[in-house]
Amino acid sequence: MAVEQIVLTLFMLATLAPLAAAVFIWWRRRYGRLFWIVLGIGALGWFVAQPLKSVASVVLFPVLGISLTAPTEELMRNIWVLVIGAVLAGFLEEPFKFIGIFAFRKRINTLSHSICYGLGAGLGAGMLEAALVGITSYFTVINQAEPVPVDLNLLLGPVERVSASFLHAALTAAFAYLFFSGKPLLGFLIAAGYHTFVDFYAPWLLVNKVVQDMWLLEALIAVSVIVLYPHFSDYTEVRRHSRLEGMDRLLLGLGFGDKIWPTTTKQQRLRQACIR
């Protein structure tokens, strides 16, 4: 198998990882086609954000005295290039990924559903990004003047794409959870801010040779993603609310639901949403 075909295959496998996660959520929660619509809009929103990032960069770089024609290595050594790129990624991609969830917000009835639909929208963005990066890498390898060695380093790009996909998912889930908890601004700032942080520190560590081993850098990025699930995306809420929904149905069936379920207005609304 030619090296370009190996590269393409590896990236397609990286695309299948978020797809498998999305299928599991859809199957486990018994969602309908709305889940896939939100996922598709999340992917489309991410795609629309890309040219907007490019336009914003073209406008902002000259203002800061950054030459648009400078070599890539020189641009990457400029701290403002890293800052602008990271800020644009965080503060443009996150709201665009959220469009589908906002459009169908009246059909997302519980906090657990908000997390799952958020995961779906983020996974859609991650899948599309992985596929496009894979296709780009395929043609890059074909046009390389020097042959690309077949070694473990070929896995770096696909591994990074898997981490990025689950980063997209966790941040959109965090945004959705806080949005439906009545804290939309906080949700946006957490999602966009953390996205900005990761997109800044990873290239900064590499450019400044703080980290020179690419596998170590990928490990740091993976850790940055993993720590989100019990905290930012509040993944435990998915399980907690699932148990509450199941218990609510059981108690209602036994005739005790109205007596045991808490009586605050917000919790009453959640209860009504659970039993629909």
Q: Which amino acid is at 123?
A: L
**In this structure, are 153 and 251 located in the same domain?**
no
**In this structure, are 67 and 134 located in the same domain?**
yes
**In this structure, are 252 and 271 located in the same domain?**
yes
Distance in angstroms (rounded) separating the CA atoms of residues 205 and 128: 26
**In this structure, are 22 and 90 located in the same domain?**
yes
Domain boundary among 218, 234, 250: 234
Q: C-alpha dihedral over 95, 101, 106, 107, to 10 degrees?
A: 180
Record the pTM. 0.82
- How many residues in total does the chain contain? 276
Q: Are 22 and 103 in contact (CB under 8 A)?
A: no
Q: Give the model's pLDDT for residue 270.
A: 47
**C-alpha triplet 120, 54, 76: angle, nearest 5°:** 100
**In this structure, are 193 and 249 located in the same domain?**
no
**In this structure, are 267 and 185 located in the same domain?**
no
**In this structure, are 218 and 274 located in the same domain?**
no
**In this structure, are 85 and 127 located in the same domain?**
yes
**In this structure, are 139 and 273 located in the same domain?**
no
Q: How many domains does the chain divide into?
A: 2
Q: Which domain covers residue 175, as residue numbers?
A: 3-234
**In this structure, are 196 and 262 located in the same domain?**
no
* pLDDT tens-place values along the chain, 276 residues long: 688 888 889 999 999 999 999 999 999 888 999 999 999 999 999 999 999 999 999 999 988 888 888 888 888 888 999 999 999 999 999 999 999 999 999 998 888 899 999 999 999 999 999 999 999 998 888 887 777 788 888 899 999 999 999 999 999 999 999 999 999 999 999 999 999 999 999 999 999 889 888 999 999 999 999 988 875 444 444 455 445 455 455 445 555 444 444 444 544 454 444 433
**In this structure, are 199 and 275 located in the same domain?**
no
**In this structure, are 137 and 60 located in the same domain?**
yes
